[in-house]
Amino acid sequence: MRVIQKIADDFYFIERGWLNGNHFVFNGKNKVLIDTGYKKDLQHTLDLIRQTGLEPQEVELIISTHSHCDHIGGNRFIQELSGCEIGMHPIDRYFIETRNDWYTWWRYYDQEADFFTVTRSFADGDLVRLDGLELVVLHTPGHGSGQISLYCPQHKFLLAADAVWDGDFGVLTTRIEGNISPFLHQQSLEKLAALEISVIYPGHGSPLHDPKGAIDRCRRRLESFLEKPERLGRDQLKKIILYTLLAKDGFPEEGFFGYLQGTHWYHEVVDLYFGGRYRAVYEDVLEELLRKNLVRREQGRLVAALKA
Ligand SMILES: [Fe+2]
């Protein structure tokens, strides 16, 4: 697997893992960065950007597909370094400007990020011109109210952000996004399914060369969540537990349940989907993550066995 791939003239895809969202670099006459990863891994992010030939201080514009911590972690640093503009959907712009650290996940999911200054808005149907490369902005809410995907009609590729991964998608946080979020996500998937796509570059994970199949699997997964809402709750517990272990470089097992109990999100998810059975649900979900080798025990610590 190549971490950095040139996917069009002057346009690069950088594949990260599950703590850091993937990046895109346009290094032509325009110098543009799409998504900046998680704050903790900023140095690695900057190294990868440099490998495309772009120096971080040359960046003119950062486009953020949405304002979750794993996509905006480098925004403030790079903006201070380069004086660049930052653009995102008007909804996410609003929540950044009003310093809503619940919406952006920082306080709700106990994550790390800095605020920054948004100078541009990218709404549905807007065109982003990077020299000769044109990207169409598509509003794809569900995972985040202001999430955008970017479609290139010329080369038929889609930067899907967290709307489509390989048969899965970014967590649906109904407490923040509202109970309507699975339905919004369904509409977003329909919108993407109507495009002529040759390859999807997801927000996390490797490029998807069977776009129709990938979107179909997302649709079916979402249908199964709607059929049994506890599945959505369990998916949320698994994803955020893994994400937490990645963000914190593991956690002493002895204190992990107590830690989760002190977060905003854990109580709410267990209350909403599992009748407040905090301890039993914790043990059950952890057992599944250990059994599937997504988490392992290392000298008294729980560690996520996923690429960060
Ligand atoms: Fe993400």
Q: Where are the domains of the chain?
A: 4-226, 229-304
Residue 178 has a pLDDT of 94
The pLDDT > 70 percentage for the chain reads 100
Where residue 160 falls among pLDDT bands split at 50, 70, 90? Answer: very high
| Domain 4-226 grouped into CATH 3.60.15.10 | yes
Residue 148 bridge partners (DSSP) = 139
- Å from CA of 295 to ligand 1 middle: 19
pLDDT in tens, 219-274: 999 999 999 999 999 999 999 999 999 999 999 999 999 999 999 999 999 999 99
Helix (H), strand (E) counts: the chain: 11, 15
* Cβ proximity of 225 and 235 under 8 Å: yes
- Concatenated DSSP letters of 227-281: H-HHHHHHHHHHHHHHHHHHHTT-EEHHHHHHHHHTSHHHHHHHHHHHTT-HHHH
Distance 250 CA to ligand 1 centre (A): 19
Taking residues 122-131, report their average pLDDT. Answer: 97
Q: How far is the CA of 22 from the centre of ligand 1 (A)?
A: 8
Q: CA-CA distance, 158 to 21, in Å (whole number)? A: 15
Amino acid of residue 284: D
68 Cα to the center of ligand 1, angstroms: 7
Span from the CA of 95 to the centroid of ligand 1 (angstroms): 17
Indicate the helix (H) or strand (E) that contains 43. helix 42-50
Q: How far is the CA of 19 from the centre of ligand 1 (A)?
A: 8
Tell me the CA–centroid distance for residue 112 and ligand 1, in Å.
14
Provide the pLDDT for residue 14: 98
Contact of 33 with 23, CB cutoff 8 Å: yes
- Exposure b/e, 213-246, CB count within 10 A at least 16 = b: ebbebbbebbeebeeeeeebbbbbbbbbbbbbbb
The confidence score (pLDDT) of residue 2 equals: 82
Q: Rounded to the nearest whole angstrom, what is the distance from the C-alpha of residue 57 to the centroid of ligand 1?
A: 24
User: For residue 202, how far is its CA from the centre of ligand 1 (angstroms)?
Assistant: 9
Query: Which of the 8 DSSP states describes residue 294?
Result: S
Distance 98 CA to ligand 1 centre (A): 22
CA 43 to chain centre: 19
Residue 99 CA to residue 85 CA, distance in Å, equals 18
> Using CA atoms, how far apart are residues 305 and 298, in angstroms rounded to an integer?
11
Residue 1 pLDDT greater than 70, yes or no: no
224 CA from centroid of ligand 1 (Å):
22
204 Cα: distance to centroid of ligand 1 (angstroms)? 6
Ligand 1: centre distance to CA 21 (Å): 5
Separation in Å, CA 125 to CA 133, 134, 150, 202: 16, 12, 10, 20
Which pLDDT tens digit goes with each residue over 52-75? Answer: 999 999 999 999 999 999 999 999
pTM of the complete model: 0.97
**CA 14 / ligand 1 centre spacing (Å):** 14
The span from the CA of 269 to the CA of 288, in Å, is 17
- Once rounded to an integer, what is the mean pLDDT over residues 173-197? 97
- Position 118 scores a pLDDT of 98
pLDDT band at 95 (very low <50, low <70, confident <90, very high): very high
Q: Give me the sign of the Cα torsion angle 120, 204, 23, 305.
A: positive
Structure letter (DSSP) for residue 26: E
List the strands of the sheet with 301-304, edge to edge: 251-252, 301-304, 295-298
Place of tokens 């914190």: 248
Strand, coil or helix: 119: coil
What value does the mean pLDDT take over residues 24-51?
A: 98
Alpha carbon 234 to chain centroid, angstroms:
18
Helix H or strand E segment including 25? strand 23-27
Which residues have their alpha-adjacent CB atom under 5 A from ion ligand 1?
21, 70, 162, 203
Ligand 1 centroid – CA 136 distance (Å)? 20
The Cα–Cα gap between 165 and 178 comes to 22
pLDDT in tens, 262-285: 999 999 999 999 999 999 999 999
- Between the CA of 229 and the centroid of ligand 1 the distance, in Å, is 22
Q: What's the mean per-residue pLDDT of the chain?
A: 97
Count CB neighbours of 170 within 10 A: 25
- Res 205 pLDDT > 90: yes
Q: How many Å apart are CA 273 and CA 276, to the nearest integer?
A: 8
